[in-house]
């Protein structure tokens, strides 16, 4: 391995260690990048300072970056305008006679909520407050209920507009954002079926945890009438995501249109203006937190490219005659480790410079399949200890012990990881819908 690659590998290892000991991620990325570039440039401070002077501004001034705050605003507004409650109530009318019908409504409601949100933490917070009281009242096992709420939140980062997919595509600029967003729908539908499959297994093995059916009967007229609550979501999805996919307007314009639609929807539903303004402020705060990490990640990506680390890692794996799928599984396990201690955005930002070229250029994996699977596994890892941000956020909202949720969520984690392995082996599960739509 060349000297440059050794410096890149050492920098990547140092970055992981610094994050583990608690140093802020953007400070870690910038400091490792500065030292690494200084070594690669032979101690030429002028060259390194020139990189740090021009690259951050050029990246921050990029028009494509405006998509991030706009879609963050979408996620916050979705929670304030009642989309979650309406979707849950509407789907519950269709699933109430099924075994575990309210859990099925929780899964389906998360999927509908994800069509306007794209932020799993927002979904976890919303459905923890909406679904758990209904599930408890109906006699569902509390641990299973909380685990279902947390696990189905992963759907929000698969169904467009997914914030994690948007961040991925902003960093990897040669990908179509519209196509990448549309690629998440097929895996999301598969995951919905499998999550409900876990509920059915619990029903068969432990019927005392899952009531067979709801006591309330809805007429077909009432069920079809409930679909009116889903019409705003359908219109939003077709206009914003469809317009992006077919190139009617850019993703940034789509985010602006979507934000205006949700603000208007909130005003029609008489959401207090104070809550809407608070949502805008929360989106600004969230963007202020993620933006320095994105800029630092861009600089770190330049350092990794200069070191040619992905090229040498590819050579090394190929010299071992290791099949590409085995390398893919190793990467997924690494993502689970990273996702246990970091949020999904941070995982994507720090790993893309190494992992994406390794799997796409080195082993020929479909880039859009990788976007979906890596986002999915990084999000799934948020359900595992010791950090498990999704679990801790839900536990905080419900004021319960996170360990109680961790103990109930393992069947869902196993199914979700198996789903990622299947998608990697059958990438058409990701690409069939955008290919069909042209």
Q: What is the DSSP string of 53-81?
A: HHHHHHHHT-GGGGHHHHHHHHHHHHHHT
Q: What is the DSSP string of 172-195?
A: STTS-HHHHHHHTHHHHHHHHHHH
Q: What is the mean pLDDT of residues 319-342?
A: 87
Residue 428 has a pLDDT of 92
| Residue closest to 79 by CA, chosen among 42, 38, 114 | 114
Give the pLDDT band of residue 193 (cuts 50, 70, 90): very high
The answer to whether 110 touches 83, Cβ cutoff 8 Å, is: no
Measured distance CA(15)–CA(27) in Å, rounded: 10
Tally of domains within the chain: 1
Quote the domain boundaries for residue 127: 3-437
Q: What is the DSSP string of 81-99?
A: TTHHHHHHHHHHHHHTTST
Measured distance CA(69)–CA(387) in Å, rounded: 26
Residue 246 has a pLDDT of 82
Query: Could you count the other beta carbons within 10 Å of the beta carbon of residue 302?
Result: 17
Q: Per-residue pLDDT for 397 more than 80?
A: no
Residue 325 has a pLDDT of 92
In whole numbers, what is the pLDDT of the chain averaged over residues?
85
pLDDT > 90 fraction of the chain, expressed in percent and rounded: 17
| Residue closest to 378 by CA, chosen among 431, 327, 337, 423 | 337
Measured distance CA(174)–CA(160) in Å, rounded: 19
Q: What is the mean pLDDT of residues 344-373?
A: 89
Q: What is the mean pLDDT of residues 385-412?
A: 83
Give the pair of three-digit tokens for residue 102. 């309210």
Q: Ranked by mean pLDDT, which of 3-17, 258-272, 356-370 comes out on top?
A: 356-370
Q: Is 43 helix (H, G, I), strand (E, B) or coil?
A: coil
| Residue closest to 211 by CA, chosen among 153, 137, 278, 272 | 137
Give the pLDDT band of residue 214 (cuts 50, 70, 90): low
pLDDT > 70 fraction of the chain, expressed in percent and rounded: 98
For 191-195, 227-231, 409-413, which range has the lowest pLDDT when averaged over its residues? 227-231
Q: What is the DSSP string of 112-130?
A: HHHTT---HHHHHHHHHHH
Q: Per-residue pLDDT for 213 more than 70?
A: no
Residue 372 has a pLDDT of 94
Give the pLDDT band of residue 1 (cuts 50, 70, 90): low
Tell me the pLDDT tens digit for each residue of 269-323: 788 888 888 888 888 888 788 888 888 888 888 888 888 888 888 888 888 888 8
The HSE-up count of residue 435 (CA atoms within 13 Å, CB side) is: 9
More confident residue, 18 or 85: 18
The answer to whether 302 touches 10, Cβ cutoff 8 Å, is: no
Q: Per-residue pLDDT for 420 more than 90?
A: yes
Give the pLDDT band of residue 215 (cuts 50, 70, 90): low
pTM for this structure? 0.87
Measured distance CA(90)–CA(74) in Å, rounded: 21
Give the pLDDT band of residue 111 (cuts 50, 70, 90): confident
């Amino acid at each position: 391995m060349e000297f440059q690659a050794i410096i890149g590998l050492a920098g990547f290892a140092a970055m992981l260690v610094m994050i583990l000991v608690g140093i802020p991620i953007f400070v870690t990325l910038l400091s490792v990048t500065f030292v690494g570039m200084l070594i690669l440039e032979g101690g030429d401070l002028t060259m390194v300072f020139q990189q740090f002077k021009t690259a951050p501004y050029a990246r921050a001034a990029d028009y494509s970056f405006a998509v991030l705050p706009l879609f963050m605003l979408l996620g916050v507004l979705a929670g304030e305008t009642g989309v979650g409650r309406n979707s849950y109530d509407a789907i519950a009318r269709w699933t109430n006679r099924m075994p575990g019908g309210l859990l099925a409504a929780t899964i389906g409601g998360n999927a509908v909520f994800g069509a306007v949100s794209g932020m799993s933490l927002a979904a976890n917070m919303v459905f923890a407050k909406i679904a758990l009281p209904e599930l408890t009242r109906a006699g569902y096992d509390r641990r299973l209920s909380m685990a279902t709420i947390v696990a189905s939140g992963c759907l929000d980062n698969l169904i467009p507009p997914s914030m994690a997919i948007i961040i991925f595509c902003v960093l990897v600029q040669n990908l179509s954002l519209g196509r990448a967003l549309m690629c998440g729908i097929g895996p999301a539908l598969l995951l919905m079926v499998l999550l409900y499959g876990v509920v059915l297994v619990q029903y068969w093995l432990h019927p005392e945890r899952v009531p067979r059916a709801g006591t309330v009967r809805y007429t077909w007229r009432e069920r079809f009438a409930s679909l009116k609550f889903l019409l705003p979501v359908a219109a939003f999805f077709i206009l914003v995501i469809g317009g992006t996919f077919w190139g009617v307007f850019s993703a940034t314009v789509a985010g602006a249109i979507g934000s205006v639609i949700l603000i208007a929807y909130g005003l029609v539903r008489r959401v207090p203006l104070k809550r809407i303004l608070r949502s805008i402020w929360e989106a600004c705060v969230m963007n202020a937190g993620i933006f320095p990490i994105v800029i630092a990640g861009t600089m770190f990506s330049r350092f990794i490219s200069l070191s040619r680390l992905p090229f040498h890692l590819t050579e090394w794996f190929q010299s071992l005659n290791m099949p590409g799928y085995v390398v893919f599984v190793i990467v997924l396990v690494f993502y689970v480790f990273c996702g246990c201690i970091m949020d999904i955005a941070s995982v994507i930002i720090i790993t893309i410079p190494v992992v994406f070229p390794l799997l796409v250029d080195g082993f020929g994996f479909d880039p859009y399949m990788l976007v979906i699977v890596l986002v999915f596994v990084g999000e799934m890892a948020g359900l595992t200890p010791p950090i498990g941000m999704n679990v801790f956020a839900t536990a905080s909202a419900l004021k319960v012990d996170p360990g109680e949720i961790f103990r109930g969520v393992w069947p869902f984690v196993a199914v979700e990881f198996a789903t990622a392995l299947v998608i990697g082996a059958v990438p058409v599960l990701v690409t069939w819908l955008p290919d069909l739509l042209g």
